[in-house]
Structure 1
Amino acid sequence: MNHWAEYVGYLASAFIVGSFLSKKIKAIRTINLLGCICFVIYGLFNGLLWPVIIPNALLALVQIYQLIKND
């Protein structure tokens, strides 16, 4: 495992947890989007971890859609 990718995984986890600390929906979606992107990167650079990549890529698309729709 790449050491830097492991840190990206920890960063992704921090973003996901941090997204639940906000009360504003736009902040929740934005922070969660950053976490999803980090998890996709983590999955790509750790041997194509599809169970990590697929749901986080889909969630990232949902977050992007909702952020654009609600602006």
Structure 2
Amino acid sequence: MSQEDPSLALLLALLDQAYDHRSWHGPNLLGSLRGVSWKRALERPGPQRHCIWEIVLHCAYWKYVALRKLPPV
């Protein structure tokens, strides 16, 4: 694609910001996870509740799905 669609570029930038770039909304996902050990990430906060590890996998999977749906840049 020789000319990048501005709305696509914005969508990609916002998707990146949420995960590992400087964000307008506060800590991004990687920043929120800084200092969390793997043991802590696997602890469930209560019955029928998701642990940090499951939430991170959920985020990673849906970022992958979203990027696969977008046209190549």
- TM-score, normalising length from structure 1? 0.39
Structure with more relative contact order (C-alpha pairs < 8 Å, separation 6 or more) = 1
More helix by share: 1
- TM-score, normalising length from structure 2? 0.39
Question: If you compute each CA radius of gyration, which structure gives the higher value, 1 or 2?
Answer: 2
